[in-house]
Amino acid sequence: MSPSNRKVLPGFSLSLGYTLLYMSLLALIPLAACFTKAFSLSVDQFWAAVWTPRTVAAYQFTFTVSIVSSLASIILGFVIAWVLVRYDFPLKRIFDALIDLPFALPTAVAGLVYSGLYVETGWLGQFLVPLGIYGAYSRFAVVLVLTFLGIPFVVRTLQPVLESLEDDKEEAAYLLGASRSQTFWRVIFPTLIPALVTGFALSLARGLGEYGSVVFVSGNMPFKTEIAPVLIVARLEEFAYAEATAIAVVLLVISFAMLVLINLLERWSKRYYA
């Protein structure tokens, strides 16, 4: 390294080496193994495994509920983050700590609790089911539980951004004659977009990969409420490992493409940061 290149902290090559090693051990090698296993199938076999009406319905269902629940998460998460940052109220710190609970809770517990609450005989279900709201064993049930799991990602990405907003920006807008809603939509909201996109990406990723809670609340009805990971488990139980990984590969590729797209969107939304 030339002297002009010296950084305060040395060891670039060492740390890069470690990073690559861990990336390889933890992510790249397992992924490669997954792809290798899947490609042990012939093209026709692969196609037959991943593209049946049932698997297509499962992909559609997985992606639809993940997107819908992520949208719900950013709306609800935004409100929660806003209240936590802008207002003081009793037990605020406890409430704040509760936000992290879905991170730690085994998701199967969330699934069991949700299905228990919303079934026809459950605490909430006994009132909701007569109204036609099925909060268990339905598509809506999956959206509910995924939103529960997605909200903390949105809250935790938005909170620091909301905290760093300076009062003088809002005061400037107000003095220039902006109403409250104009101040919010023209001055505050645009600066939150990058964080909202990040929160969306994180909760979407969570939703796409979720299994534990969904199997309990969805009812796993083929063509209706069956998610792709459930099909993978079904294939595994039939000892059809290659077919199981083939479905996994399709999920991986679509998810990766979506996350790349969201990353580009995020970068675009930050274009005015020098």
| Nearest distance in Å: CB 196, another protein | 13
What residues from 153 to 182 belong to the interface with another protein (CB under 8 A)?
A: 166, 168-169, 171-179, 182
Using CA atoms in the order 119, 125, 126, 131, what is the torsion angle rounded to 10 degrees? Answer: -120
Only segment of 51-59, 75-83, 184-192, 223-231 that touches another protein (CB under 8 A): 184-192
Residues 204-216 as b or e (16 or more Cβ within 10 Å = b): bbbbbebebbbbb
CA distance 16 to 198: 25
| Nearest distance in Å: CB 199, another protein | 18
> How many positions of this chain bind another protein (CB under 8 A)?
20
Instruction: Please report where in the chains the tokens 């042990």 appear, as a residue.
Output: 40
Q: Contact between 274 and another protein (CB under 8 A)?
A: yes
Q: Which one, 100 or 171, has the nearer CB to another protein? A: 171
Q: Which one, 68 or 193, has the nearer CB to another protein? A: 193
| Nearest distance in Å: CB 52, another protein | 47
Q: Contact between 191 and another protein (CB under 8 A)?
A: yes
CA distance 176 to 129: 51
For residue 180, the one-letter residue type is R
Q: Contact between 267 and another protein (CB under 8 A)?
A: no
Q: Which one, 70 or 269, has the nearer CB to another protein? A: 269
Nearest CA-CA partner of 136 in 57, 55, 215, 26: 215
| Nearest distance in Å: CB 85, another protein | 19
Interaction mask 1-40, another protein, x per CB under 8 A: ----------------------------------------
| Nearest distance in Å: CB 75, another protein | 21
Task: Out of 54, 92, 186, 267, name the contact with another protein by CB under 8 A.
Answer: 186
On the 0-12 / 13-18 / 19+ scale of CB atoms within 10 A, 69 is: buried
Helices (H), the chain: 12-23, 29-38, 43-50, 53-86, 92-98, 101-104, 107-118, 125-128, 139-164, 167-175, 180-182, 189-209, 212-218, 228-237, 241-269
What residues from 96 to 115 belong to the interface with another protein (CB under 8 A)?
A: none
**Residues in touch with another protein (CB under 8 A):** 166, 168-169, 171-179, 182, 186-187, 190-191, 272-274
